[in-house]
Amino acid sequence: MQIKYQTEIISIEDYWDLFEGTGWNKDYKISKQDLSTVLEKSWYSVAAYDGDRLVGFGRVSTDGLLHAMIYDLITDPAYQANGIGSEILSKLVNKCKDENIRDIQLFCAKGKRKFYEKRGFVARGEESPGMEYKILMKCSSGGK
């Protein structure tokens, strides 16, 4: 298995097949057209392909400066435990770091918390849902 990663916009057909095939649309009940809009409005995404089959995907929305939110980190169940989700997450986080975004957050599915904690995310308090990735910023000269 040779997985190739890409950051170009993927086809809605590929994403729809993964989104539907993994059961993600069971609760969302989103149309293919609306899912296409989600892709178009995302700031950055990473797709994992095995040949021409989309087997993993993740995306980021951001204000470009302070906050970024990771959404839809999906790996085809037949490909889980092969490092694909980890690689996608790493690429998403590194892009945010490269752009000096100060706060990276995500919501994780029930039972997936440890996956994210192993990769630098920390659970927020009970009164603050979600998780975030703490980036320690160095003050520039003259900064407070």
What's the start-to-end Cα distance of the chain, in Å? 50
Tens of pLDDT, residues 42-97: 999 999 999 999 999 999 999 999 999 999 999 999 999 999 999 999 999 999 99
Q: What band does 10 get if pLDDT is binned at 50, 70 and 90? A: very high
pTM: 0.83
Name the pairing type of β-strands 53-62 and 44-50: antiparallel
3-state DSSP percent of the chain in helix, strand and coil, to 5: 35, 30, 40
CB 61 within 8 A of CB 41: yes
SS3 label, residue 10: coil
Residue 69 pairs with which residues in a beta bridge? 61, 105
* Mean pLDDT of the 16-44 span: 92
Q: Is the pLDDT of residue 23 over 80?
A: yes
